[in-house]
Each structure stands twice: as C-alpha cells, then as structure tokens.
C-alpha cells in the first residue's frame, strides 16, 4: 500500500511539474504583429485584383496591390494604354521615343515586345498564375532605389523630381508563370520593380 501511495505521489508530482512547465512556456515573451518582419502575415487572393497575388497585408494597401497587378496585367495582355496608366508618363514616353525609338511605333508594340521577352524566358507564351511580393522595402542603397531615382530625375528633366515623391519602395517578386496552354509552369525568382507615390497615386517602374 505504501508503494502505491508513493507511485501516486510521484505521478502527481510529474503531472504538476508538466503543468508548471507548460505554464512557464506559454508565459514567454510575445512579439507584436506589427513588429514581425515582412512575410509573416501573407495574404493570397486570386480574384480581387487583376492578377492572382500574394503579399504581406501589413505592408501593402489595396491601392498599391492594384497598381502592381494592373502593371503586370498590362504586360501579360500587351496593353500599352494600361501600362502607361500605371507607370510614370515621362518614363513610358522615354522608353518608347528614346530607348526604342527605331523599333516600335506604339506603346502596344513595345508591350508586345516586353511580353515576348518574358515569354522567351519561359520558352512559350505565358500568363501570370501568381505574383508573390517576397519583399517590400524603403531601404534605398542596396535595393537600388537611389539609383532609380537618379535615373528618373535625369529623364524627367526636373532636378527636384525627388521632392515630388511622397514615398518610394523597392518591390521584390517571384512570378509563377503558366505556359504551353496551361500544361507547364515555371517559377521566376528575384524580379524587381520600383513603386512611387506622388500626389496620392502609385506608379510602377521596371
């Protein structure tokens, strides 16, 4: 009988110890959601925007996601007007009239060529099955934001172009492309675009 009481006491002690240990574990430090790094609260939506997209909802608002998906939808659909609407107007004009002045007669022609360059990388024509924003940062040096701002300042002809920016970001993405009529797919990593906010509107530059 004494042995049974001893075993019972040991089991009770073991159970109490487990409860106390669990309590100590659950009472550990917690990190507030707003302090978590990018990627901790990813949201995926396939129908809300022009393209299926995955992004951290804490870092991008609906207007920012809209301009990103509209921008790449324009590439997918070879839509020059939609492309021009989602990038800086002077940048689109510069691309068409200076960079590709002897190659393309219209913005649609230029977008068809851009579409073809992506299609070539995937071996065939393509659609965006998912674009994932893997990083979204305002860090300027290593992201290349400072360099792009310098380029845009030169192109715009406005030495105070940077002063017109409310905000700017470097956006890193991963594309899941579907091609061969949906029979195959490929993931293209480390694609970059820069986003600028001017007078409450957002624009993409790549």
**Burial of 157 from C-beta contacts in 10 A (0-12 / 13-18 / 19+):** exposed
pLDDT at 42 exceeding the cut of 50: yes
Residue 45 tokens read as: 């939506």
Q: What is the pLDDT of residue 118?
A: 85
Q: For residues 154 and 152, give the distance between their C-alpha atoms in angstroms, rounded to a whole number.
A: 5
Sheet holding 167-179, edge to edge: 42-45, 53-56, 126-137, 167-179, 184-198, 201-205
> What is the pTM (predicted TM-score) of this model?
0.80
pLDDT at 24 exceeding the cut of 60: no
For residue 147, name the pLDDT band (cuts at 50, 70, 90): very high
Mean pLDDT for all residues in the chain: 84
pLDDT digits (tens, 9 = 90+) for 57-114: 999 999 999 999 999 999 999 999 999 999 999 999 998 888 777 778 889 988 888 8
| N- to C-terminal Cα separation, the chain | 81
């Amino acid at each position: 009988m004494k042995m049974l009481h001893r075993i019972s006491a040991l089991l009770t002690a073991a159970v109490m110890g487990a409860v106390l240990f669990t309590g100590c574990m659950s009472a550990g430090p917690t990190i507030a959601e707003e302090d978590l790094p990018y990627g901790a609260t990813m949201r995926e939506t396939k129908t809300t925007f022009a393209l299926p997209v995955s992004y951290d909802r804490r870092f991008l608002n609906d207007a920012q996601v809209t301009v990103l998906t509209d921008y790449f939808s324009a590439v997918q659909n070879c839509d020059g007007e939609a492309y021009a609407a989602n990038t800086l107007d002077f940048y689109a004009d510069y691309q068409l009239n200076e960079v590709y002045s002897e190659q393309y007669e219209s913005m649609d022609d230029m977008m068809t060529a851009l579409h073809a360059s992506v299609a070539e990388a995937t071996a065939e024509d393509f659609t965006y099955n998912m674009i994932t924003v893997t990083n979204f940062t305002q860090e300027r040096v290593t992201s290349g934001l400072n360099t792009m701002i310098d380029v845009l300042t030169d192109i715009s002809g406005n030495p105070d172009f940077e002063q017109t920016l409310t905000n700017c970001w470097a956006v890193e993405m991963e594309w899941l492309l579907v091609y061969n009529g949906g029979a195959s797919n490929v993931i293209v990593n480390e694609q970059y675009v820069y986003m600028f906010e001017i007078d409450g509107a957002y624009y993409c530059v790549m």
